[in-house]
Amino acid sequence: MISVSEAQEILLKFSKKGPTERVSFENCLNRMLAENIHADRDAPPFDRVAMDGIAIQSDQLQIRQQFVIEDIQAAGQEQKSLNNPENCLEVMTGAVLPAHTDCVIPYEKLIIKNGVARLISTDHKAFQNTHKKGIDAKKGEQLLPSGTWIHPGVKGVLATTGHTEVEVVQLPKVMICSTGDELVPIQNTPLLHQIRRSNVYMLQAALKDLNIEAHTTHLPDNKEELNASIGKLLEEYDLLLFSGAVSKGKYDFLPDVFEELGIQIHIHGVKQKPGKPFLFGTKAEKSIFGFPGNPSSTLVCFHLYFKCWFNHYLGTSPKSNYAYLNKEVTFKKPLTNHLLIKSSFEDGKILAEPVINSGSGDLVHLALADGFLSLPPEKDTFKKGQLFPITYFHQTDL
Ligand code: AMP
Ligand code: MG
* 50-71 residue pLDDT tens: 999 999 999 999 999 999 999 9
Report the C-alpha gap between 35 and 384 in whole angstroms.
46
Distance from the CA of 121 to the center of ligand 2, in angstroms?
A: 77
What ligand has the least distance to the C-alpha of 220? 2
- Mean pLDDT for 158-173 is 98
pLDDT tops 60 at residue 233? yes
Share of the chain above pLDDT 70, in %: 99
Distance from the CA of 326 to the center of ligand 1, in angstroms?
A: 31
Question: Half-sphere exposure of 14 toward its Cβ, with a 13 Å CA cutoff?
Answer: 22
pLDDT band, residue 291 (cuts 50/70/90): very high
Longest dimension (CA), the chain: 95
DSSP element (H, E) containing 158? helix 152-160
pLDDT tops 60 at residue 143? yes
- Cβ neighbours of 5 (radius 10 Å): 12
Distance from the CA of 362 to the center of ligand 2, in angstroms?
A: 16
- Mean pLDDT for 121-145 is 97
At residue 318, the pLDDT reads: 78
Measured from CB, residues less than 6 Å from any atom of ligand 1 are 178, 180, 182-183, 195, 197-200, 243-245, 247, 249, 252, 292-295, 361
Question: Which among 84, 44, 34 is positioned nearest to 64, based on CA atoms?
Answer: 84
Distance from the CA of 244 to the center of ligand 2, in angstroms?
A: 5
DSSP per residue, 372-390: EEEE-TT-SEE-TT-EEEE
Distance from the CA of 93 to the center of ligand 2, in angstroms?
A: 64
Q: Which amino acid appears at position 62 of this protein?
A: Q
Across 258-386, the runs of DSSP E, i.e. the strands, are: 264-268, 272-273, 279-283, 286-291, 321-325, 329-330, 336-346, 349-354, 371-375, 381-382
Report the C-alpha gap between 207 and 217 in whole angstroms.
15
Crossing angle of helices 307-314 and 4-14, in 10° steps, is 40
Pocket test for ligand 1, best of 242, 253, 294 (most atoms within 8 A of CB): 294
Residue 359 is classified by DSSP as S
Distance from the CA of 216 to the center of ligand 1, in angstroms?
A: 15
- Mean pLDDT for 113-136 is 97
At residue 128, the pLDDT reads: 98
At residue 102, the pLDDT reads: 98
Distance from the CA of 293 to the center of ligand 1, in angstroms?
A: 4
The ligand 1 atom nearest the CA atom of 243: 16
pLDDT tops 80 at residue 188? yes
Report the C-alpha gap between 185 and 83 in whole angstroms.
77
Distance from the CA of 128 to the center of ligand 2, in angstroms?
A: 69
- Mean pLDDT for 180-207 is 98
- Ion ligand 2: residues, CB within 5 A, are 180, 244-245
Residues 6+ apart with CB under 8 A from 181: 220, 221, 251
At residue 25, the pLDDT reads: 98
pLDDT band, residue 396 (cuts 50/70/90): low
At residue 15, the pLDDT reads: 94
Closest protein CA for atom 6 of ligand 1 = 293
Distance from the CA of 215 to the center of ligand 2, in angstroms?
A: 20
Distance from the CA of 270 to the center of ligand 1, in angstroms?
A: 18
Peptide bond into 274 cis (omega under 30): yes
Report the C-alpha gap between 225 and 83 in whole angstroms.
86
pLDDT tops 90 at residue 398? no
- Mean pLDDT for 141-149 is 97
The ligand 1 atom nearest the CA atom of 294: 8
- Cβ neighbours of 66 (radius 10 Å): 13
- Mean pLDDT for 194-198 is 98
Residue 161 is classified by DSSP as T
Pocket test for ligand 1, best of 194, 200, 203, 298 (most atoms within 8 A of CB): 298
The ligand 1 atom nearest the CA atom of 179: 16
- Mean pLDDT for 313-328 is 94
- Mean pLDDT for 101-106 is 98
What ligand has the least distance to the C-alpha of 277? 1
pLDDT band, residue 397 (cuts 50/70/90): low
Closest protein CA for atom 11 of ligand 1 = 293
Closest protein CA for atom 16 of ligand 1 = 293
Question: By the 8 A CB rule, do 75 and 94 touch?
Answer: yes
Question: Which among 105, 155, 148 is positioned nearest to 130, based on CA atoms?
Answer: 105
Report the C-alpha gap between 6 and 12 in whole angstroms.
10
Average pLDDT, the chain: 97
pLDDT band, residue 140 (cuts 50/70/90): very high
| SS3 state at 177 | strand
What ligand has the least distance to the C-alpha of 177? 1
What ligand has the least distance to the C-alpha of 176? 1
Would you report the helix, strand and coil content of the chain in percent, each value rounded to 5? Answer: 20, 35, 45
Indicate the pairing of strand 116-119 with strand 66-73.
antiparallel
Closest protein CA for atom 10 of ligand 1 = 294
